[in-house]
Chains A and B, each alone.
Chain A
Amino acid sequence: MSEYVLEVQEVKKHFKMGARKTVKSVDGISFAIRKGETLGLVGESGSGKSTLGRTIVGLYETTSGNVLFNGENTSNLNGKEKKELSRQMQMIFQDPTASLNPRMKVGDIIAEGIDAYKLLRGKERKERVIELLEKVGLHADHAKRFPHEFSGGQRQRIGIARALAVNPSFIVADEPISALDVSIQAQVINLLEDLQKEQELTYLFIAHDLAMVKHISDRIGVMYMGKLVELTTSETLFQDPLHPYTHALLSAIPVTEPKLRGTRERIMLSGDPPSPLNPPTGCPFRTRCPNAIEKCGEEMPKWKEIKEEHWVACHLF
C-alpha cells in the first residue's frame, strides 16, 4: 500500500452548458494526501474547490483522470466494493441550513448513513445516535428536534455527526465554517481537530479564510480557475510563496491588529477573474498577473515540484 490515503491524478470535471459550451470547473488536478494529514484548499469562489471535493468523494463522475483511495482506483470498483469504499469517504457541507433536510428529525438525519448501510438497528441505533450527538457536543434530547431549531454552529455539528456515523477514514470538509460566526468557528475547528486525533481521520479542508486554513492544515493547495497553481506546507506557503496569485491572495488578508495597519504590502489584482466559459489561453492567471511574461499567453505552465514538497504551476519557476 502506498504512503497516501488519497491520490488524485490528472482529474478533470467539465460541465456541459447547453449544446456547445463547457465549463472546465476542475481541469487536470493532481495531488496526494497522506494518512492523518489535513490538506487545505483555498481559492476564490468559482475556482472549482467544491467541484473537486465532490468529484473526489464520488458525488460527481470524473470527466477524465483517476481518484485512488488506499491505492485502489475508485472508478474501477463496482457493487459491494464500491459501496464500502464510498462509505469511507465522507463529506461535510458548507451551508448549515441547506445541508440538513428541514423535514427530518435530527436523530434520523444522523442515522441516515447507519440506515443506508444497515449498520445498526433499534436500540443500538438509538444509542449510537446519542453517542454521536454527545461526541459533537450536543445533547441526547436533541435527537427529537428539527434542524431549524438549532443555531448555525449546532447544525454544522449535526452535519459532522452524520458523516461520522458511518466511520469514515477520509473527510472532505467543504467550507464547514464559512457561514459561522467567529466565536463559533473555533468550536467547530477544535471539534474537527479532536476527531482527527481520536479517529485518525484524514481531511481535505476547503476554505476561503486563509488564517483558519493555515491553522488547521499541514499542507495547503491554492486553486485558480479549475487548476492547482501552488501546493506546499502551510509554513512555506505563508513564508515563501512562489505563485503570483498566492502572493496576491496572502497580501489581501486583513491585518489582525490595528497597529499593524499598513504594514502589509498589498498587491491589488487588476480586473476580474475571467469567465469560466471563456478561459484565457495559456496560464489562466495571466490576465491579472502583475508578472506575466509573453510565454504565459502561449502555453499552460506545467505542474512541477520546484523544491521538495513545493509544487507550483508558473512559467517564472
Chain B
Amino acid sequence: MSQPQINIDHLFRPADKESLHSDKIARPYESYGKEVIRKVVKNKMAVFGFVLLVVIILLSIFGPHMVSHTPSKQNLTQGNLPLSSEHWFGTDDLGRDVWARTWAGARISLVIGFAAAIIDLIIGVFVGGVSGYMAGRGKTGDRIDNLLMRIVEVLFGIPYLLVVILLMVMMKPGITTMIIALSITGWVGMARIVRGQILQLKQQEFVLAAEKLGTSHAKIIIRHLLPNMMGIIIVNLTFTIPSAIFAESFLSFLGLGVQAPTASWGTMANDSLGVILSGQWWRLFFPGLMISLTMFAFNAFGDGLQDALDPKSK
C-alpha cells in the first residue's frame, strides 16, 4: 500500500460531513446563449462574416453621407472618371458618384433582405407552426394541417421569378412589388422547416408533460416549441436573407426589379454592361464585389451559427 509521506494517523476518525452536500453542482454555469456566442467567436470565418456584415450595414447607413455627392446627382462633365480622392469608387457615364450609389444600393439590398426575413418569421413560422401543431390532433386538426400544407405545396411549385413577372404586369416594377412577390412565395421553405421541427418536438416528453398539466395550446407553442427551434429558425434566416438579396440584384439586373435611375447593385451592374470593355471596370466591379461580399458574409456567419447551435459541437 502506498503510504503518504506525512503522518496521517490522526485523520482516522469520522469526518464531519455537514459541510459536504453531494447534490451540489460543481461545473461553472454557462447559459445557452453564451455558449453559442463562445462557439461562434471561436470560428474565424463566422467572425469575419459577422464583422463584414456590420461594416456593410454601417456603410449603407453612413456611406452616402461620407462624400459630398448624392447618389443620383448627375454631372455629365464628370462622366466615367476613374477612382480618385474626389470620387472614391469613380463615376459612371452620367457623372454620378459610384461610392454613393453603391451604398445607396446596399440599402435597397438590405431592405429586401430584412423584409424577406420578417416575412419568413411572420408568415413562415406561423403557418408552419400551426400546421405542425395541429397535425394529428383529431379530424379538425388534420384538416387544418392538410389545408395549410396544400397551400404551401402549391406555392412551392411556383417559381419566384414567375410571380415577379406576373406582378410586374399588374403593378409597376420596383421594390414594393418585389416585397409583395416575396410575401407570396418566399416563406414556404421556412414553413416546411418549422412544421417538420414541430412534428418532431411535439413527440418529446416535455411537450406531453405540458399538455398533461393543462398548459394551453398557445403557451405550449410559445414556451415549449418555439424556444427549442429558435436556433434553426435563425440559421434559416441567415440563408434566406442572402438569397433574397441575390434575387433582388438579379431581377434588377434583368430590368425586372428596381428601375433606373434608382441605384441598386443590380441596376448598376446592368448600366455598366456596355462599358466594361472600354476599361471602366469600376462601374461593374464595385456592385459585383458588394453582392459577393454580402452573400459571403451572411453565409459564413450562418454556417458558423449552425455549427455553434449543434449540441454535438464542443
Direct contact of A and B (CB under 8 A): yes
B210 within 8 A of A: yes
Residue of B nearest to A165 (CB): B213
User: Smallest distance from the beta carbon of A140 to chain B beta carbons, Å?
Assistant: 12
Residue of B nearest to A115 (CB): B215
Which residues of the other chain, B, contact A101 by a CB distance below 8 angstroms?
A: 206, 210, 223-224, 227-228
B205 within 8 A of A: yes
B216 touches A116 (CB 8 A): yes
Known: A103-B228, A145-B29, A150-B25. A87 touches B205 (CB 8 A): no
User: Smallest distance from the beta carbon of A166 to chain B beta carbons, Å?
Assistant: 6
B27 touches A98 (CB 8 A): no
Which residues of the other chain, B, contact A95 by a CB distance below 8 angstroms?
A: 205
Known: A94-B205, A98-B206, A99-B206. A104 touches B215 (CB 8 A): no
User: Smallest distance from the beta carbon of B197 to chain A beta carbons, Å?
Assistant: 14
A93 touches B209 (CB 8 A): yes
Rounded to whole angstroms, the CA-CA distance of A306 and B32 in the bound complex is: 58
| Complex interface bits, A78-121 against B, C-beta within 8 A gives 1, otherwise 0 | 00000100110011011100111111100000001101110000
Which residues of the other chain, B, contact A87 by a CB distance below 8 angstroms?
A: 214
A159 within 8 A of B: yes
Which residues of the other chain, A, contact B13 by a CB distance below 8 angstroms?
A: none
B153 within 8 A of A: no
B204 touches A57 (CB 8 A): no
B212 touches A57 (CB 8 A): yes
Q: Is the interface of B mostly helix, strand, loop or mixed?
A: helix
| Complex interface bits, B203-232 against A, C-beta within 8 A gives 1, otherwise 0 | 011101111111110010001100110000
Residue of A nearest to B29 (CB): A149
Rounded to whole angstroms, the CA-CA distance of A90 and B212 in the bound complex is: 7
B23 within 8 A of A: yes
B138 within 8 A of A: yes
Which residues of the other chain, B, contact A116 by a CB distance below 8 angstroms?
A: 210, 213-216, 219
Counting chain B CB atoms within 10 Å of each CB, which of A103, A139, A162 scores highest?
Answer: A103
A61 within 8 A of B: yes
User: Smallest distance from the beta carbon of A90 to chain B beta carbons, Å?
Assistant: 6
Rounded to whole angstroms, the CA-CA distance of A90 and B138 in the bound complex is: 22
Rounded to whole angstroms, the CA-CA distance of A150 and B205 in the bound complex is: 17
B21, B25, B138, B224: the one within 8 Å of A149 (CB): B25
| Complex interface bits, A56-78 against B, C-beta within 8 A gives 1, otherwise 0 | 01110100000000000000000
Known: A116-B213, A116-B214. A138 touches B32 (CB 8 A): no
A288 within 8 A of B: no
Rounded to whole angstroms, the CA-CA distance of A95 and B209 in the bound complex is: 12
A234 within 8 A of B: no
Residue of A nearest to B203 (CB): A98
A169 within 8 A of B: no
B211 touches A113 (CB 8 A): no
User: Smallest distance from the beta carbon of B26 to chain A beta carbons, Å?
Assistant: 10
A54 within 8 A of B: yes
| Complex interface bits, A254-276 against B, C-beta within 8 A gives 1, otherwise 0 | 00000000000000000000000
A83 touches B214 (CB 8 A): yes
A154 within 8 A of B: yes
A86, A90, A93, A103: the one within 8 Å of B205 (CB): A93
Name A's B-contacting residues (CB within 8 A).
54, 57-59, 61, 83, 86-87, 90-91, 93-95, 98-104, 112-113, 115-117, 137-139, 145-146, 149-150, 154, 159, 162, 165-166
Name B's A-contacting residues (CB within 8 A).
21, 23, 25, 27, 29, 31-32, 138, 204-206, 208-216, 219, 223-224, 227-228
Taking A87-B214, A101-B210, A149-B27 as given, write out 12 further A-B residue pairs in contact, using a Cβ cutoff of 8 Å, ordered by the A residue number: A58-B212, A83-B214, A91-B212, A99-B204, A99-B209, A101-B223, A101-B227, A116-B214, A139-B21, A145-B25, A149-B29, A150-B25
